[in-house]
Amino acid sequence: MIVQFGSALIELVLGDITTQEVDAIVNAANSFLAGGGGVDGAIHDAAGPEIIKELARRYPDGCPTGSAVATSAGLLAAQFIFHAVGPVWEGGGKKESQLLQSAYETCLDLAEQNRCRSVAFPSISTGVYRYPVDLAGEIALRTVATRLESTQQIKLVRFVLFDQGTFGCYSRILETMLV
């Protein structure tokens, strides 16, 4: 599914983010930037061991929840990895929605600062961090669509969704945004 917002596109695909040919891919990292399971493990496995070293060297204090930091992309086709730290879902009363929105916004800021034309996101926080996919998808898609209405720099944002349930949920939300 592909939809135009401003002069840019939002695309939803079912697949693996590590193989995407875009300028930047986003990682769902933890605040220690220490590597983990899920999409984080897959990205570090595919990009190679230099990325963990670069993270430790450039960001020894880690990254707060709701923010993101940039590194090179090692063996990946992308030029950059943006390591975003989404919130752990704790029922919705711990500013999770603001923190998730801010994680996406920081990645979009990094994309603009690094002159990226294309960025691929996973579904941040909806795995081990247990954020409900319908709520997270709404924030992800609205935050990106709002930015695409106002930026000339980013031309494509691709959401790379790893399972059919997440892909279906994001697709339904994007459809409701068209009417």
Q: Interface residues with ligand ADP (CB under 6 A)?
A: 16-18, 28, 38-40, 42, 86, 122-129, 160, 162-163, 166
Closest CA to 72 of 117, 27, 108: 27
* Nearer Cβ to ligand ADP (74/127): 127
Residue 169 near residue 21, CB atoms below 8 Å: no
* Nearer Cβ to ligand ADP (106/125): 125
Measure the CA–CA gap between 65 and 84, rounded to whole angstroms: 8
* Least distance (Å) between residue 83 CB and ligand ADP: 11
* Least distance (Å) between residue 44 CB and ligand ADP: 11
Residue among 40, 45, 61, 109 flagged as catalytic: 40
* Nearer Cβ to ligand ADP (120/148): 120
61 belongs to the catalytic site:
no
* Nearer Cβ to ligand ADP (26/152): 26
Measure the CA–CA gap between 27 and 5, rounded to whole angstroms: 23
* Least distance (Å) between residue 179 CB and ligand ADP: 26
At 150, list the tokens.
Answer: 């106002």
* Least distance (Å) between residue 58 CB and ligand ADP: 21
Residues known to be catalytic: 40
